[in-house]
Amino acid sequence: MTKDLEHNFVELLEKHQNIVHKVCRLYTNNYDAHNDLFQEITIQLWKAYPKFRGDAKFSTWMYRVGLNTAITLYRKSKRTINTQAFDSVQFKISAEDYDDTEEQQLKLLYKAVHQLNDIEKALVFLYLEDKNYREISETLGISEVNARVKMNRVKTKLKTILNP
Amino acid sequence: MDELELLKKDWQKKDGDYPKLSYNDIYKMILKKSSSIVKWIFIISLLEFVFWSLISFLLKDSKSMQRFQEYDADYILIPLAVLSYVILAYFFYLFFMNYRKISVTDSAKVLMENILKTRRTVKQYVAFNLIFLVLSVIVVLFIEFDKDQLLINQAQQAAANGEAFKFYATIIITTFLLLALAIGVLLLFYWLVYGILLKRLNKNYRELKKLDI
């Protein structure tokens, strides 16, 4: 029984692992910290899995557990202080996509997002993942109106970080 | 174009750029132990319950307490002991129930609230113990002044020399200074441990609460 559960879980997570990687990418800034957070989110997902009911989509459920772990449960290890730019290590820009100004802008944008606080990052993350305000508000536990208001503030904040 | 839209486009385009962990990599991960703050809070809280229970046990068996038996002070000591056990049980029950409510699948705000609530129970238990400690010291002082022959003799001697006030004041002030020092050290310890452990959680919780005002 447990073996079945383990097998199902690992298979599902293997398939949807990108969600966890994306949370890690936003909340950490180096390779070790990324792996550390990935590990903790996996454990939290696994611990919560027996209570996972099929009525929610596994991926939707993962967003919640992943973000909760990153915002609330995870204790940043000392390694996180090492601020080697994660993007330059992990994500090589492919030649055909290369556009100098846009690429420069994107670099600055990713940097700006990293400067946001944990809650703002969560909002941005869900927005980037194309979640609607209802889902955002439910994941964070705030009202939909307030999620919208905050999102607008984050947009302004990003603008100011980019154009001081 | 809106900056975020530009970012979104790129974010979704990069979907294939993430590391791919294999089935075995993930399987190995689920066998490892969590190091989440909830786990630490649980361990530290249990240690606190053990610490305070041990303190009351050790005090009961200490020599000065055994001397107390001779003073016929049971009428006050037994109710105090019973009270402390009942309160320990009550707080432990509350702590455990709150702990069980912590679920990583709740919304971020509810999750944070439940963690903080669990913490608060232990904090209240510690506060209760500190108050209990101060009260006990006061009770003990009264009984000592009333029953301890050595102390009574010294008090009479001091009174004969016209220094009764100085005598009582010295004992009372010394006792309270020691007590204040002990409490100060404990509070500093708490402030450090929980300050480090809960700093981020508190900050994020405040941020979320601010959004809902």
Q: What is the pLDDT of residues A30-67, one digit of tens each?
A: 888 999 999 999 999 999 999 887 777 888 899 999 99
* Whole-number Å distance between alpha carbons of A16 and A34: 16
Does residue B44 sit at the A interface (CB-CB below 8 Å)? no
Tokens (6 digits) for B136: 């006990």
Confirm whether B28 is domain-assigned: no
User: Considering only CB atoms, which chain B residues are within 8 Å of A76?
Assistant: 200
In order of start, what are the domains of chain A with their CATH numbers? 1-91 (1.10.1740.10), 93-164 (1.10.10.10)
Structural domain count of chain B: 1
To probe the interface with B, which of A4, A72, A121 has the most B CB atoms within 10 Å? A72
Pick from A87, A109, A113: nearest CA to A34: A87
- To the nearest whole percent, how much of chain A has pLDDT over 90? 55
Q: Domain range spanning residue B157?
A: 44-211
More reliable by pLDDT, B177 or B53: B177
The whole-number pLDDT of residue A27 equals: 93
Q: Could you say which of A40, A51, A155 has the minimum Cβ distance to residue B35?
A: A40
Confirm whether B13 is domain-assigned: no
Q: What is the pTM of this model?
A: 0.82
The whole-number pLDDT of residue A89 equals: 39
- Cβ distance A158 to B3 less than 8 Å, yes or no, reads yes
Which uninterrupted H or E stretch holds B28? helix B23-30
Confirm whether B60 is domain-assigned: yes
* Whole-number Å distance between alpha carbons of B161 and A63: 78
Tokens (6 digits) for B205: 């919780």
Confirm whether B75 is domain-assigned: yes
At A99, the pLDDT band (50, 70, 90 cuts) reads low
Confirm whether B22 is domain-assigned: no
- Cβ distance A47 to B104 less than 8 Å, yes or no, reads yes
The whole-number pLDDT of residue A85 equals: 44
Candidate from A75-79, A118-122, B43-47, B185-189 with smallest mean pLDDT: A75-79
Size of chain A, expressed as the number of residues it contains: 164
**Tens of pLDDT, residues B4-63:** 888 899 988 887 788 889 999 999 999 998 888 898 889 988 998 888 888 877 777 666
Confirm whether B23 is domain-assigned: no
* Portion 108-147 of B in contact with A at CB < 8 A: 108-112, 115
To probe the interface with A, which of B105, B204, B209 has the most A CB atoms within 10 Å? B105
Q: Could you say which of A11, A44, A61 has the minimum Cβ distance to residue B36?
A: A44
Distance from CA of A51 to the nearest CA of B (A): 9
Q: Could you say which of A14, A97, A119 has the minimum Cβ distance to residue B208?
A: A119
* Whole-number Å distance between alpha carbons of A47 and B213: 33
Q: What ipTM is given for this predicted complex?
A: 0.82
Distance from CA of A74 to the nearest CA of B (A): 5
More reliable by pLDDT, A91 or A7: A7
Confirm whether B112 is domain-assigned: yes
**Tens of pLDDT, residues B118-142:** 989 988 988 888 888 888 888 888 8
- DSSP class of residue A76 equals P
Confirm whether B30 is domain-assigned: no
More reliable by pLDDT, B69 or A118: A118
The whole-number pLDDT of residue B63 equals: 67
